[in-house]
Amino acid sequence: MGKNKTAHAVKKVRGKKWTKDDTELTLLSLPTVFWYLIFSYLPMFGVVIAFKEYKLAPGGHGFLYNLFASDWVGIKNFKYFFTSNSFTMLLRNTILYNIAFIIISASVAVGGALILSNMRNKRGSKVYQTMMFLPYFMSWVVISYFVYALLTPEKGYMNGLITALGGEPVMWYQEKKYWPFILVILNTWKGMGYGMVMYLASITSIEQSLYEAAVMDGATKWQQMKHITLPGIKPVFVMMLILDCGKIFNSDFGLFYQVTGGIPQSLYTTVSTFDTFIYNSIQSTAPIGQTAAASFFQAVCSCGTILFANWVVSKIDNENRII
């Protein structure tokens, strides 16, 4: 008799009709669905350009007509991109910068979150957290003006300080050896507030009873951090690491283009990445098919790296994978 009631209840739940809550949730999700359809999925059709020699057909036709009328060239555009003189340099810069960004930014964010979470003055902790989070909302265009004020050769604050100490002024926008450090420092400074907030939120979600039990057992602050805090933020750390690996073939266009002043020729081999190369190609007379091929290669590699990172995590710690 009990089994029949249970089976009837399960069958009733499965056959439940569409409710008012389902309608409300669906309506709430529609703007997000439309946004992804219009700005994420619909533009995927443009991938076709990477396999065509796009040309304007006579007669003043629209984009779609010209696209379908253009000749297929297969992987010719990809071959041109892979064999170009800039490919190796762009690949090196994009990957190495992102590896440095991931390692340094994660270390600073975790370290800062641990420091702020252990501050006794909670009001002071909130003030510091807000101050560190502020740069995240600043545009790279605004930051580029501050950087220019610091590094401009004629009246920059850095050269003023150097000459006041008896040194020679530095032509910052012509000396490429300084820019890897400048870019890493700026990226870390701008993004550390966001990362710290993520880890602070994870730290505050840890059960306080664990810390109380550790204090009763005589655990020091270092032992509490090692055995409670770090394992507690591990899922968030792994998730952020996987997502960052998905962006290893991308770069922050504002950081590399705006801050450097449009990538002058003297800095080209040091600060150029795939994103800046694609932008400059669009602005030039280069065939659009070759530019699309570079962008498509970048997208495929980004998808591959995030899947690979997730696979590696699943082999090491299956519980913390995201897919």
What does pLDDT average to in each consecutive run of 10 residues of the chain (323 residues)? 50 67 92 92 87 84 83 90 91 95 93 87 83 90 92 87 89 92 94 89 88 89 90 91 91 93 91 93 86 91 92 88 81
What pLDDT, on a 0 to 100 scale, did the predictor assign at position 84? Answer: 87
| Extended beta strands in 76-133, E state | none
Residue 8 to residue 56: CA distance in whole angstroms? 66
What pLDDT, on a 0 to 100 scale, did the predictor assign at position 4? Answer: 54
Pairing assessment for the beta strands 52-53 and 71-72 based on DSSP bridges: antiparallel
Phi/psi at 250 (5° precision):
-110, 165
- State the DSSP string of 72-122: E-TTHHHHHHHTSTTHHHHHHHHHHHHHHHHHHHHHHHHHHHHHHHT-S-H
Which amino acid is located at 316 in the chain? I
CB 224 within 8 A of CB 214: yes
Q: Among candidates 186, 142, 183, which has minimal Cα distance to 272?
A: 183
What pLDDT, on a 0 to 100 scale, did the predictor assign at position 10? Answer: 47
3 state DSSP class of 52: strand
Locus of tokens 């555009």: 77
What pLDDT, on a 0 to 100 scale, did the predictor assign at position 106? Answer: 92
What pLDDT, on a 0 to 100 scale, did the predictor assign at position 93? Answer: 95
Query: What's the angle, vertex CA 175, arms to CA 102 and CA 93, rounded to 5?
Result: 30
